[in-house]
Amino acid sequence: MAGTDRTQSLILGGPAFVLARPQLGENIGSAARAMLNFGLSDLRLVEPRQGWPNEKAIASSSGAEAVTDGARVYGSTADAIADLQFVYAASARPRDMAKTVLTAEEGAKRLRAHVAKGEAAGVLFGPERTGLHNDELAISDAVIAIPANPGFASLNLAHAVLLIGYEWFRHGDQPSSRGPVRRRGRHSGKASSKEVMDMFLHLESELDAAGFFWPNEKAQRMTRNIRNMFQRASLSEQDVRTLRGIIKALAEGSPKRKRT
């Protein structure tokens, strides 16, 4: 293929690129090709509509087997990002919630900083027709928005992947063929998405038992706002453990109050 030098070693690794509910195999393949163009190889698929593996995706990837062969499929977005400490949502807008909005360049610089420190990070992309759900935006740390013609701002999935991938690659001083270094053992770095989600579910269960979510028709929006509020705090592992202890203590009631 023109522009490809088979004598050179492939650059692989980088942050995860998560495609939520992609509709067409061709778009997955084109996204995989764009990822490999810029040294990215961690492709995660959430409920691809046409299934996986997919012949059209493989054909459209134009030889990007280093990405497609290792692609992992998940049943939910929460599962796909569970191990990540930082998640950036690629979206045209944060809609009606308070959310930090970054350019692709700013997002790439942050991703580089996370990976350099051994922190697991990723970018979340929504389906071609509808984009990400509000609930998915709420559990993201920030939004990466790509400016475009306001009268025709919808980007093809692979185009969005390519633009962010390009910014990732050009901000690497010395691209490495290795992925992010995973920290071992207990530490108080940024909590993983799963740890934060488990805390959310714990808190929401107790709030529901206390009758907090009223009226019922506002419960979903209230839940989303609570999650977005905590997500902006960029909770550490120790923060999450402390908050879960607080939630448990409040739910069980104060021993001092029980004695009075």
Per residue in 105-160, pLDDT (tens digit) is 999 999 999 999 999 999 999 998 888 999 999 999 999 999 888 888 888 999 99
User: What is the residue extent of each domain of the chain?
Assistant: 16-170, 193-259
Q: How confident is the model at residue 175 (pLDDT cuts 50, 70, 90)?
A: very low
pLDDT exceeds 90 at position 198? yes
Per residue in 216-257, pLDDT (tens digit) is 898 999 999 999 899 988 899 999 999 999 999 998 875 555
In sequence order, what E strands does 115-241 have? 121-125, 142-144
Per residue in 50-103, pLDDT (tens digit) is 999 999 999 999 999 999 999 999 999 999 999 999 999 998 766 677 889 999
Per residue in 15-55, pLDDT (tens digit) is 999 999 999 999 999 999 999 999 999 999 999 999 999 99
pLDDT at 19: 98
| Distance separating alpha carbons of residues 64 and 34, to the nearest angstrom | 9
Strand pairing class (142-144; 86-90) = parallel
| Distance separating alpha carbons of residues 89 and 87, to the nearest angstrom | 7
pLDDT at 47: 96
CATH topology of domain 16-170: Alpha/beta knot (3.40.1280)
Q: What secondary structure letter does DSSP report for 217?
A: G
Distances (CA, A) of 45 to 6, 23, 81, 127: 28, 11, 11, 11
